[in-house]
Structure 1
Amino acid sequence: MARGWDENDAEHYERPRRRTRPRTKDRPTYDDAEAGTVVRVDRGRYTVLVDGHPVSAPTTAMKARPLGRKGVVVGDRVRLVGDTSGIDGALARIVEVDPRRTVLRRTADDDDPVERVIVCNADQLVVVAALADPEPRPRLIDRALVAAYDAGMAPLLVLTKADLADPETLLSTYRSLGVPWVVTQKGAEVEAVRERLAGRVSVLIGHSGVGKSTLVNRLVPTALRDVGVVNSTTGRGRHTSTSAIMLALPAEDGGPGEPGGWIIDTPGIRSFGLAHVLPEHLIEAFPDLDEMTEDCPRGCTHGEDEPECELDEALEAGQVDPDRVTSFRRLLAARESSDV
């Protein structure tokens, strides 16, 4: 026997199939829908923290059919109807998705036309890289920075395992870009990292084995993220995080009040396609360089081999820091190279 629909069921208002009479012409307004933030996505079920509800009592929800194929990802601000109590067995329905402030994307490969949204509405992209075991991969770091600039997010570089290698070699590569950085090592306090995350929504990315899950467990002791090891033969880590999850940082006073910020832990990555990033969007992240390229020929990408690029003229005239131009062009080249 088919169940009846009530006013909270979006299907109640669904456009009828052909040769059937409309159920109703009144469309829902969802004035009484509750707002919340998606903190986890798992096989068609969404874990949502409803505004005003305790962090310890998230709501399980599903996506309403009228949303169609519209993707809902971690960080999305949504509106829900139904049972938002968070008790065991309760199920709400996501009926609306708010416009996104920032969107972090990547493609599987550089020639892949399909963009994959990783997270939304984050303020800061934290690139976690190990100084050794496994060896750092600057190309992947460069690509992550390109994605951050394209998304309008502030970048932060966190270098782990400083007890195994000197961080200066890697840091010298990024100083001219003005990327802030923090160095950590095994057993050391993580307060310097916590200070950079306070009051922000930060998404952590890094390839497998760099110590990202260990860092998350230090920042949020209740997270209990699985920690893997690095394969001694391949020098690569094993994927331990299988899905993105948004976690509340403990409040500064350690009490049960408002969180001290939010972090989004993502699965380890081994590729970071940037087919969606346009050169003109990348240079906009560097206002000083962007201003110098106003008179560049149409279609100029501002790369090293571009004829009549205004950046070259600025270099000859001594009007710009050569290291900064070199670093920008390295990011531009990283966008076009799949070698990470």
Structure 2
Amino acid sequence: MSRYSEHDQEHYDRPRRRTRPRTKERPTYDDAVDGVVVTVDRGRFTLWVGEGDEAVKVMAMKARPLGRKGVVVGDRVRVVGDTSGADGSLARIVEVHERTAMLRRTADDDDPVERVIVANASQLVIVTALADPEPRPRLIDRALVAAYDARMQPLLCLTKADLADPEILLSTYRSLGVPWVVTQRGGDLSELRDRLRGRTSVMIGHSGVGKSTLVNALVPDAHREVGVVNTVTGRGRHTSTSAFMLELPDGGGWIVDTPGIRSFGLAHVQPEQLIGAFPDLDEMTEECPRGCTHGTDEPECGLDVAVTAGEADPERVESFRRLLAARSDSSY
């Protein structure tokens, strides 16, 4: 005999889950519009949708079908929903276009998890103060390795030239052919603007080297917070907490201001592949033994043969090998 009568609520069957037939058909999102991610904050994404004077700033979240696929600053995406940019509106990112470049780093050299900092950038601007704080060449070397691995054009930007002579630092990188600009507080930035025009450039450097000061000068309405250098430790205070992409005036390109870094892990970079960023040296390694990394201690390396024969610039080979050592040596 049933425990419940027909008048009791428990007598009736409970509705079953997933009663609607599942389908493999996916939305086409024909009404999606293109946008570019300019900043990421706790799972919310700020995008520029549209072009020129018609561009609007839109808040969005990632659609569930994207799963664990990461979306970072610089990504070109397709969005649906409310793209009006009105207060309280929220759109959905439904697709991420294929990336043309990725600037990556790891937390340290033993960390197998790589993190994409910025996507689709063509130039890495390594901002280094000549004094206050003192330059750290090992970190510059590591940033150069990351740029070459990402197939990005590096640019060395030396700030605070009114405090120290830039020639000492420039002599270290001249043999590598790294382009450079020198700036000082209140000085002319026309050369830097020329280097940035028409490109998407990422600015990285220690806290206190002047990245935010440069950004405020290049984009007057950026209002990036400017920090100071601790007189005891010689290190700057973090003023940027996340990467932020800004359009240069008059359609001159984009710059990405990033938080100050104190380490740059390169676990994702294979040392033997770095030679590909130096075509002139790469040609000289065709006869290298199998597995040669082209480092200083490699026997019968083609670079040593080329130097001995006078076919390679010894300073350039030494500078390249310094970058290799920077990849393997985390004591910077």
TM-score normalised over the length of structure 1: 0.91
Question: Would the aligned equivalents of 2:204 and 2:259 in 1 still touch at CA under 8 Å?
Answer: yes
Structure-2 residue corresponding to 1:219: 218
Structure-1 residue corresponding to 2:11: none
Within-5 A mapping of 1:90-105: 90-105=89-104
Within-5 A mapping of 1:47-62: 47-52=46-51, 54=53, 57-62=56-61
Percent identity between matched residues is 77
Structure-1 residue corresponding to 2:190: 191
Answer with 280-289 or 155-164: which moved more: 280-289
1:87 aligns with 2:79: no
1:339 aligns with 2:304: no
Letter in 1 for 2:204: I
Structure-2 residue corresponding to 1:208: 207
Between structure 1 and structure 2, the one with the greater Rg is 2
3-state SS of 2:127 partner: strand
Structure-2 residue corresponding to 1:302: 294
Structure-2 residue corresponding to 1:248: 247
Letter in 2 for 1:292: M
1:229 aligns with 2:228: yes
Question: Would the aligned equivalents of 2:73 and 2:244 in 1 still touch at CA under 8 Å?
Answer: yes
Deviation by residue 1:254-312 (Cα, 9 ceiling, x = unmatched): xxxxx211000000000000011112321100000011111211111100001111111
| CA distance, structure 1, for counterparts of residue 76 and residue 17 of structure 2 | 34
Question: Would the aligned equivalents of 2:49 and 2:55 in 1 still touch at CA under 8 Å?
Answer: no
Within-5 A mapping of 1:101-120: 101-120=100-119
3-state SS of 1:223 partner: coil
Question: Please, what is the CA RMSD of the aligned residues?
Answer: 1.4
Question: Would the aligned equivalents of 1:49 and 1:55 in 2 still touch at CA under 8 Å?
Answer: no
TM-score normalised over the length of structure 2: 0.93
Letter in 1 for 2:292: C
| CA distance, structure 2, for counterparts of residue 56 and residue 241 of structure 1 | 25
Residue 57 of structure 1 and its aligned partner are, at CA, apart by 2.5
| CA distance, structure 1, for counterparts of residue 105 and residue 285 of structure 2 | 27
Structure-1 residue corresponding to 2:5: none
Structure-1 residue corresponding to 2:133: 134
Structure 2 residue runs without a partner (length 5+): 1-15
Structure-1 residue corresponding to 2:9: none
Structure 1 residue runs without a partner (length 5+): 1-16, 252-258
Residue 24 of structure 1 and its aligned partner are, at CA, apart by 3.9
Question: Would the aligned equivalents of 1:79 and 1:97 in 2 still touch at CA under 8 Å?
Answer: yes
Structure-2 residue corresponding to 1:291: 283
Structure-1 residue corresponding to 2:144: 145
Structure-2 residue corresponding to 1:171: 170
3-state SS of 1:58 partner: strand
Answer with 199-208 or 183-192: which moved more: 183-192
Distance 1:19 1:91, change over 3 A: closer
Question: Would the aligned equivalents of 1:128 and 1:205 in 2 still touch at CA under 8 Å?
Answer: yes
Question: Would the aligned equivalents of 1:57 and 1:87 in 2 still touch at CA under 8 Å?
Answer: no
Runs of 4+ in 1 over 2 A off after TM superposition: 17-26, 51-57
Residue 117 of structure 1 and its aligned partner are, at CA, apart by 0.6
